[in-house]
Structure 1
């Protein structure tokens, strides 16, 4: 169900040290750094993210992603959310900057959280990318 999620950290340097250490004990490591965020996991897939929140209130809205079975479900998720009045953050598309085959859409839920549906096995699709 949950594909990945992230938290906002008030002291990013301290959080990096903490999570590098405690997740390392569990066999997890840094898998990706993207802007002001670091993703931890295994085998190239970041499942847990920390983000520099020095300029934001800790406890602010977070990001999490739900696994979708295919690109059609990603699109249906997006259409359903927008149909309910959710703010569109990113329409469904390929995100090659994350990894090949990453197809996702992002909306803001009623509480302001950045909610994503993602499918990791997409190929090139007409009109996306």
Structure 2
């Protein structure tokens, strides 16, 4: 399930069984927020799972998709993303 008006900015996935690692993505308002999310999460003990930057459209990301990924202490993949319009 995705929540927002024009496109989903917060996903809730009920299909994964309990105990399976999840992927949670949060919309950022700028590339600077993506960078700040990654820096703060790593400083707080998260594990880098993809540094901030534009993602490759050849890997299925839409054009202008800037994101950073960090694993939380439970191994969940946390993402901050910014999409240029």
For the aligned pair, the TM-score class normalised by the smaller chain equals 0.7 to 0.9
Q: Pick one of 63, 69, 79 that aligns with 2:23.
A: 63
Q: CA deviation at 1:7?
A: 4.1
Tell me the number of residue pairs that the alignment of Structure 1 and Structure 2 aligns: 75
Runs ≥4 residues deviating over 6 A: none
Structure 1 residue runs without a partner (length 5+)? 10-52, 123-129
Q: Structure 1 pair 81/88, CA: closer, same or farther in 2 (3 Å)?
A: same
TM-score (norm 2): 0.75
Q: Deviations over 1:63-98 (max 9, x none)?
A: 010010000000000000000110100000101321
Q: Which has the higher contact order (CA 8 A, sep 6+)?
A: 2
* Structure 2: gaps (5+ residues): none
Correspondence for 1:94? 54
TM-score in terms of structure 1 length? 0.51
